[in-house]
């Protein structure tokens, strides 16, 4: 499972975008695109819902591929995850994500075990 933990600690294995991609489920892509469009106040089309995981070679959603500041930072620092960063506890980007998903922090801590 560790390879499915994103740089930020989210579990890509349970992400509906990944599930839609690996099962080629267009109905799920449609559902995710509607939800994410509403949550992010932007247009996200079903065609954008193709991702196999943040740290895994293969397709990524446009956000994950090129817009996610956490992924950009971790890749720039050549970290396996944010759990390897000395600045993790003071990172504002990570703090905003953890505020909405406490499991992500637990995943980052468990990556060290």
Query: 12, 54 in Cβ contact below 8 A?
Result: yes
**What would the two tokens of residue 89 be?**
């506890």
Percent of the chain with pLDDT over 70: 97
Cα angle 49, 105, 76; round to 5:
65
pLDDT digits (tens, 9 = 90+) for 44-76: 999 999 999 999 999 999 999 998 999 999 999
The encoded tokens of residue 23 equal 């099962």
Write down the domain spans for the chain: 2-111
Residue 19, burial from CB neighbour count under 10 angstroms (0-12, 13-18, 19+): middle
- Global pTM reads 0.87
C-alpha span between 105 and 50 (Å, rounded): 25
- Answer whether residue 1 shows pLDDT above 70: no
**Residue 62: closest CA among 38, 101, 33:** 33
């Amino acid at each position: 499972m560790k390879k499915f933990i994103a740089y930020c600690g989210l579990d890509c294995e349970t992400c509906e975008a990944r599930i839609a991609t690996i099962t080629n489920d267009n109905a799920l892509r449609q559902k995710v695109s509607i939800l994410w469009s509403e949550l992010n106040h932007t247009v996200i089309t079903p065609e954008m819902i193709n991702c196999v995981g943040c740290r895994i070679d293969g397709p990524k959603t446009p956000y994950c591929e090129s817009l996610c500041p956490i992924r950009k930072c971790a890749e720039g620092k050549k970290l396996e995850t944010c759990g390897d960063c000395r600045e993790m506890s003071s990172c504002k980007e990570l703090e905003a994500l953890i505020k909405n998903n406490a499991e992500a922090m637990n995943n980052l801590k468990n990556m060290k075990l």
